């Protein structure tokens, strides 16, 4: 046990001359669990720990050879190298019965005979389960050796021999250092680190170099350094943690703007404002909800966050309330066009009476409610009619929240074109109808009309898609190379007007075939008797099958068809 305690003195030597006291000592057996994850030794932090003793807990170890490692950490976070000690643990399996054990001996490789091996110093006992000792490796050859241990009880009986394979390394001798290399965070493999310029020698204690940290990420990193001698042997790897600060970069684009009055709710939790990249942020203006504020002076704080996640300092302005507005209110503080697919904090164009919207566009907006809203409250975004009237509002979005928010909403397709649209926000719990947006919104619409179907009368016949829709003054395209002469198929028309408002229409070109079923009656003119649920016309090809529920009878009116095919056994009567 004395040799185990000696390791603590070795740790003290490693820290000799250090300016910071040792604040942690930890130990582990056989496998390193990582810095800070070893078993802590109880001690009082001090600059000098050379006389510290502690007893490592070996109860959980397997019998046989084990290795104890111990290391210390200074108060500035630097770790010492790990001192280590090889020892052999005896277990009840190594002892002979319950009689008192009076001799333990060991030998390497060749058995010198009972009683002739090297004796282990211990106190005779019937229980030596936790006995440890350090075998003398001094006379062993380099390479693989076999350690063998046995015990003898007071009755003169010897135990079975326990054995353990060990490998002995030659003691390190002074040799010329030919390479020093370093790496960060992840080991690239010996010889693959970054080489440090040096003059080969046996003493490199005064070597200094500047590692290249240009490619490292911001934050905590760890530097590792090791050396190679002329015999091709690598040293242990020394390491040091450090924090890298990024140099001040050029201003990044602003991605968020928010404000609060008097009390800071925390970064990202204040009332948002949506804006667009072309705005000059110092000159950006937006309404602020002051309902619910008491009379007197208040402070408005505004701050922004750039696209790298960094927040600005908060700008401060004063608000003087001379007459308080007690009733809660909800205002729309900003409103923008949002190109499809643009995330909420991306860049857009501002909505105004000059920059018109198209029906079906996505918009982003932010709103600022005053008052208190209960859990489960839903803010509903509503659109007025083209005159700004909310008598029959259209719901275009919802936000489940108890505070102001920025959100995306989509305008309905095929709204009536107009220049007086407005938006407001209505809460559900409590019910508060918000103020209409201050700016009137222009919405344009392009409506090509309903999708259509064209029936061909003959196989091989073609028709012109260009006659189906009025595209005068529009930029249009069909998804076929020859829209003037198309056969059966499904075709798509995409058009944009002068305001770049889009619309799409589908046209299906096909042969219409109707098969008689007679499910309802014998009347040709009853749509329920046909599988297409309508009476055939001049462009319909008719099939009268062999069997049907009722025969086909043309009664009072003439029948029309492009062709009639009567299958064997089928019948058309009059």
Nearest in space to 300 (alpha carbons), one of 285, 282, 314, 280: 314
Q: Which two tokens stand for residue 159?
A: 């135990």
- Helical (H) or strand (E) element with 544: strand 540-544
Cα atoms in the 13 Å half-sphere on the side-chain side of 496: 5
pTM: 0.49
d(CA 481, CA 439): 45
Cβ atoms of 222 and 241 closer than 8 Å: yes
* Alpha carbons 411 and 400: distance in angstroms, whole number: 19
pLDDT at position 235 is 86
Q: Token digits for 239?
A: 């390491």
According to DSSP, the residues that pair with 183 across neighbouring strands are: 224
Three-state DSSP class for 10? helix
Of 149, 97, 147, 93, the C-alpha closest to 120 is 149
Give the whole-angstrom CA distance, residue 340 versus residue 362: 6
Cα-Cα-Cα-Cα dihedral sign, residues 492, 498, 499, 500: positive
Question: What tokens appear for 530 in the block?
Answer: 């046909």
SS3 94: helix
CA distance 531 to 514: 6
Adjacency order of strands within the sheet including 238-244 = 194-195, 177-184, 219-229, 238-244
Task: Encode pLDDT of 18-31 as tens digits.
Answer: 346 888 999 999 99
* DSSP line for 131-188: -EE----TTPPSEEEEEEEEEEETTSPBPPPEEEEEEEPPPP----EEEEEEEESS--
> Please, what sign has the CA dihedral across residues 257, 258, 264, 265?
negative
Task: Indicate the CATH number for domain 2-88.
Answer: 2.60.40
Q: Which residues on adjacent β-strands are paired with residue 42? A: none
Beta strands, E only, 384-457: 394-400, 405-410, 418-421, 423-428, 431-433, 441-444, 452-456
Q: Is 86 exposed, middle or buried (0-12, 13-18, 19+ CB in 10 A)?
A: middle
Q: Can you say whether the dihedral through the CA atoms of 39, 44, 46, 52 is positive or negative?
A: negative
Q: CA dist 305 to 218, 254, 277, 501, Å?
A: 19, 6, 13, 33
Q: What is d(CA 265, CA 462) in angstroms, rounded to the nearest whole number?
A: 68
- Identify the burial level of 72 via C-beta atoms within 10 angstroms of its C-beta, where 0-12 means exposed, 13-18 middle and 19 or more buried: buried
Domain edges within the chain? 2-88, 90-168, 177-244, 254-444, 458-508, 516-574
Residues of the chain with pLDDT under 70: 1-20, 50-51, 90-98, 169-174, 246-251, 276-283, 339-355
Are 146 and 163 a contacting pair, CB within 8 Å? yes
Cα gap 303→268, rounded to integer Å = 10
- Give the mean pLDDT of the chain: 84
What is the DSSP code string of 316-332? EEEEEESS---S--EEE
pLDDT digits (tens, 9 = 90+) for 240-258: 888 887 665 566 777 788 9
- Quote the DSSP letter at residue 42: P
Could you give the CA distance from residue 224 to residue 219 in angstroms, rounded to a whole number?
16
Cα–Cα distance between 152 and 39 in angstroms, integer?
Answer: 34
CA dist., res. 249 & res. 254, Å (int): 14
The two three-digit tokens of residue 296, written as one number: 């007197």
Burial 188-211 (b: 16+ CB within 10 A, else e): eeeeebeebeeeeeeeeeeeeeeb
Q: Is 517 exposed, middle or buried (0-12, 13-18, 19+ CB in 10 A)?
A: middle
Q: State the pLDDT at residue 4.
A: 39
Q: Please state, in angstroms and rounded to a whole number, the distance separating the CA atoms of residues 565 and 562.
A: 10
| DSSP assignment letter at 64 | E
Task: Tell me the C-alpha distance between 331 and 334, whole Å.
Answer: 9
Please state which CATH class domain 90-168 belongs to: mainly beta
User: Rounded CA gap, 183 and 189, in Å?
Assistant: 10
Q: How many helices (H) and strands (E) does the chain have?
A: 1, 36
C-alpha to C-alpha distance for 192 and 234, rounded to whole angstroms: 13
- The partner residues of 301 in beta bridges, in order of sequence, read 260, 316
pLDDT of residue 391: 94
Confidence at residue 60, expressed as pLDDT on a 0 to 100 scale: 83
Rounded to whole angstroms, what are the CA distances from 2 to 55, 135, 386?
Answer: 10, 13, 93
| Domain 2-88 shares a fold with domain 90-168 | yes
Quote the pLDDT of residue 482.
93
Distance, in Å, from the CA atom of 290 to the CA atom of 261, rounded to the nearest integer, reads: 9
């Amino acid at each position: 046990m004395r040799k185990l305690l000696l390791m603590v003195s070795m740790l003290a030597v490693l820290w000799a001359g250090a300016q910071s006291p040792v604040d942690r000592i930890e130990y582990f057996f056989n496998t390193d669990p990582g810095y800070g994850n070893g078993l802590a030794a109880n001690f009082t932090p001090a600059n000098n720990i050379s006389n510290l003793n502690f007893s490592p807990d070996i109860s959980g170890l397997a019998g046989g050879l084990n290795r104890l490692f111990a290391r210390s950490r200074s108060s500035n976070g630097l770790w010492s190298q790990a001192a280590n000690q090889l020892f052999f643990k005896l277990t009840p399996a190594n002892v002979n019965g319950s009689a008192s054990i009076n001799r333990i001996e060991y030998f390497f490789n060749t058995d010198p005979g009972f009683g002739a091996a090297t004796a282990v110093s211990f106190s005779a006992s019937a229980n030596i389960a936790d006995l440890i000792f350090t075998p003398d490796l001094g006379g062993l050859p380099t390479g693989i050796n076999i350690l063998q241990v046995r015990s003898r009880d007071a009755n003169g009986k010897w135990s079975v021999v326990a054995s353990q394979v060990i490998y002995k390394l030659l003691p390190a001798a002074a040799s010329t250092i030919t390479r020093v290399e370093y790496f960060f965070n992840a080991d690239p493999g010996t010889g693959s680190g970054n080489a440090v310029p040096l003059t080969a020698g046996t003493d490199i204690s005064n070597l200094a170099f500047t590692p290249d940290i240009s490619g490292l990420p911001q934050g905590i990193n760890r530097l590792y350094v090791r050396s190679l001698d002329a015999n091709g042997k690598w040293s242990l790897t020394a390491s040091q943690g450090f924090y890298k600060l990024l140099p001040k970069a050029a201003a990044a684009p602003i991605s968020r703007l928010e404000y609060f009055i008097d009390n800071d709710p925390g970064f990202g939790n204040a009332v948002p404002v949506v804006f667009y990249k072309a705005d000059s942020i110092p000159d950006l203006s937006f309404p602020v909800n002051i309902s619910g504020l008491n009379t007197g002076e208040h402070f408005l704080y505004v701050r922004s966050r750039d696209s790298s996640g960094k927040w600005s300092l908060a700008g401060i302005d004063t608000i003087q309330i001379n007459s308080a507005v007690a009733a809660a209110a909800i205002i729309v503080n900003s409103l923008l066009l949002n190109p499809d697919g643009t995330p909420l904090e991306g860049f857009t164009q501002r909505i105004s009476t000059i920059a018109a919207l198209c029906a079906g566009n996505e918009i982003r907006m932010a709103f600022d409610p005053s008052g208190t809203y209960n859990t489960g409250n839903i803010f509903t975004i509503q659109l007025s009619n083209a005159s700004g009237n909310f008598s029959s509002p259209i719901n275009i979005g919802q936000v489940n929240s108890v505070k102001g928010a920025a959100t995306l909403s989509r305008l309905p397709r095929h709204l009536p074109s107009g220049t007086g649209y407005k938006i407001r926000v209505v809460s559900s719990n409590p019910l508060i109808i918000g103020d209409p947006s201050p700016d009137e919104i222009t919405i344009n619409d392009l409506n090509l009309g309903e999708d259509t179907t064209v029936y061909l009368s003959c196989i091989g016949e073609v028709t012109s898609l260009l006659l189906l829709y009025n595209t005068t003054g529009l930029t249009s395209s069909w998804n076929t190379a020859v829209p003037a002469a198309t056969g059966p198929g499904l075709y798509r028309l995409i058009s944009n007007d002068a305001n770049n408002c889009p619309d799409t229409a589908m046209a299906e070109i096909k042969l219409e075939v109707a098969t008689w079923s007679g499910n309802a009656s014998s009347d040709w003119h009853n749509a329920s008797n046909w599988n297409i649920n309508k009476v055939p016309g001049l462009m319909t090809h008719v099939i009268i099958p062999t069997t049907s529920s009722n025969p086909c009878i043309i009664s009072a009116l003439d029948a029309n068809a492009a062709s009639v095919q009567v299958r064997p056994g089928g019948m058309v009567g009059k």
